[in-house]
């Protein structure tokens, strides 16, 4: 089973049919890349990290193939890009059926990324609508700070 399209579990057969319906071949490399993303969704992987993990099951796959597959999966809205301002573009399975993207909490010390699933900006969106007549459809929020584990560590001399 794959998790992805509209944030639903889709079978490998459904994934193949989605590709075929777009005139694309459901190659083993494409399936392997999508599977790696699905299995590692909480890690927010870069293309190079995806490549390293896919090489385990597809040792002959090339980095260019992974790049092309990532681009294709993004065009199909199966995955989303994530820029955490660290010089890398990261990828995660799409959460299309959510009203808003989830928020990311990024630790300045260790780089840990925590997903905050709650949308705490509803009142801000209502105020924007009331004040400016602008209806917010979506937003992306990144909070930077120090995670609990880093805060609990003893300061090192």
CATH node for 2-93: 1.10.10.10
Per-residue pLDDT reduced to its tens digit, 5-33: 344 456 788 889 989 999 999 999 999 99
Per-residue pLDDT reduced to its tens digit, 117-150: 777 788 888 999 999 999 988 777 888 999 999 9
Task: Provide the H-helix boundaries in the chain.
Answer: 12-21, 28-39, 47-57, 63-75, 122-132, 148-152
CATH node for 103-152: 3.30.1490.190
- Tell me how far apart the alpha carbons of residues 65 and 88 are, in angstroms, rounded to a whole number: 18
Topology match between the domains 2-93 and 103-152: no
User: What pLDDT shows up at residue 103?
Assistant: 81
Q: Where are the domains of the chain?
A: 2-93, 103-152
């Amino acid at each position: 089973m794959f998790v992805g399209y509209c944030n639903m579990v889709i079978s490998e057969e459904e994934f193949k049919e989605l590709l075929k319906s777009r005139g694309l071949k459901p190659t083993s490399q494409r399936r392997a890349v999508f599977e790696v993303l699905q299995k590692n969704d909480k890690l927010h992987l870069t293309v190079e990290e995806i490549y390293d993990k896919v090489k385990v099951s597809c040792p002959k796959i090339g980095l260019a193939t992974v790049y092309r597959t990532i681009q294709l999966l993004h065009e199909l809205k199966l995955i989303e890009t994530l820029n955490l301002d660290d010089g890398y573009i990261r990828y995660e399975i799409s959460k299309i059926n959510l009203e808003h993207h989830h928020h990311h909490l990024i630790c300045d010390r260790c780089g840990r990324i925590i997903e905050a699933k709650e949308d705490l900006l509803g009142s801000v969106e209502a105020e924007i609508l009331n004040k400016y007549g602008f209806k917010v459809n979506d937003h992306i929020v990144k909070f930077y700070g120090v995670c609990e584990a880093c805060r609990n560590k003893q300061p090192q001399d």
